[in-house]
Amino acid sequence: MLTLFDRHRSRFCDGLTRRSFVQAGVLGTAGFGLPELLRAEATSKTAKRQHSVVMVYLPGGPTQHETFDPKPDAPREIRGSFQPISTAVPGTHFCELLPKLSAMSDRFSVVRSLVGLQNRHESFQCYTGRPGGRSGDNEPAGGWPSFGSTVSSLLGSNGDGMIPYVDAAPKMGHMPYNNRGVHDPASTLSWPGYTGSDHVPFTLEGDVKKDLVLNGIDASRLNDRRQVLASLGLLQSNVDNDSGLDAFQKQAFGLLTSSQLADALDLNKEDPRIVQRYGDGQATDPGFGGAPQSPKHFLIARRLIEAGVRVVTVAFGAWDWHSNREGPLEQLARKYLPVFDHTLSTFLQDLDERGLLETTSVVVWGEFGRTPRINAKGGRDHWAETQSVLLAGGGIQGGQVIGQTDKEGGRPVERPVHVQEVFATLYKTLGIDANTVKVDDLTGRPRYLVDENRQPIPELLG
């Protein structure tokens, strides 16, 4: 975080306080960990674009039956109201409400047999690959860090000094859904884990409302970029001359005054045809406590990756479809799945057309799946036995379906894939070997990035 505030303590002659900015906890310091990889990025004249990861979190847990694992031969109370449709991959079918993703399914793969997540309404599991916050979770000193925090601590910023880890998710009403939120149901904060506060994500909404307050200017969304940068410019000389500021804080100011971040976030700099192509999206019922369906947040994610951010997280929609709010599952699916289909397919196509999909891994998932049997209200309840996950880009081979569930879509019967295998795969796409790389916890004990010797998914990496 980066906070500028407090006009009432010791001041410079121009009226600004000497320590009026005291928080900087999101910009990873460059050159920390894996020095060979970083040197290669910084010095090689022929080096390709750095690899990045976009984690798309679907708060509430999407239904596998109405997305990527339809069961047309099951009884109606299991298969639901919708028919399967063919995809670009022969023999593979998705729900009829996903025609655009079906048409491009050869450019991504789906794991239908994910295991290892628990029945907890929080983003923590999707961002760390582990449970946390409860006494039986056996967390290390400091707690588990998120994937982005670990990458930030190992790789730092790129050669241009861009922030390594950004949360581009909208602010959500259910606190455990938020990146840097709380555990469910515990009230303890879920971040930053043992990598420390230097590696929590830079949040574009929510906490950033108090992270960036520039001499009374509300810069929570950086709407007026020129005014924000002008105000930062007035402070820059004090930053450069203040020996009390550490290098981390100076890096934060240098980044913002260089306009890299502001430019990436400014959709006025985007081709209007591309903005229109992503579409407007729609709000979700506030009762869900989830995110709106906002295509522009995906567009911002693409621009952040283009600007050199290593890990971006995005939350999209509200998927807790018990049918206890807004209507039965059939109504919810008809309203929300077409927007999901359009937004995600547009995002993947945009990355592909710009040559970014080759170096950008994308994972799309929720904290669990939904029950095979539709409940009495016409919805599906929580189901931690399995879920479907979409994986694309960054060297991940497309056009595959990994794993198979039983005839009801409730449990894996072939090739169960553990969540930490997904994390090992994502680390691999960034050039990080989860078998050898470790990060110390707060007691100084080295910790592997994944547990139980989990390996990258060989079917996806070849």
Tokens, residue 304: 């952040």
**What's the pLDDT score for residue 214?**
36
Tell me which H or E stretch contains 448. strand 446-448
Q: Which of 152, 126, 154, 106 has the alpha carbon at shortest distance from 319?
A: 126
Rounded-to-integer distance, Cα 251 and Cα 270, Å: 26
393 φ/ψ angles, rounded to the nearest 5 degrees = 70, 175
Rounded-to-integer distance, Cα 91 and Cα 72, Å: 14
> What are the residue ranges spanned by the domains of the chain?
2-41+53-461
**What's the pLDDT score for residue 4?**
32
Rounded-to-integer distance, Cα 219 and Cα 22, Å: 17
**What's the pLDDT score for residue 107?**
98
Mean pLDDT for back-to-back runs of 10 residues, the chain (462 residues): 34 32 31 44 55 98 98 97 98 98 98 97 97 92 96 90 90 94 88 88 63 39 43 43 44 55 86 97 97 97 96 98 96 98 98 98 98 98 98 98 98 98 98 96 96 95 84
Q: 202-203 and 165-167 as β-strands: parallel, antiparallel, unpaired?
A: parallel
**Contact at 8 Å (CB) between 351 and 370?**
no
Please indicate, yes or no, whether the overall pTM of this predicted structure exceeds 0.85. no
Residue ranges with strand state E in 225-317: 311-315
185 preceded by a cis bond (ω within 30 of 0): yes
Alpha helices per DSSP H over 44-183: 76-79, 99-103, 124-128, 147-155
- The sign of the torsion formed by the CA atoms of 292, 185, 27, 146 equals negative
**What's the pLDDT score for residue 255?**
53
Rounded-to-integer distance, Cα 347 and Cα 145, Å: 27
CB-CB neighbours of 406 under 10 Å: 15
CA atoms within 13 A on the CB side of 106: 6
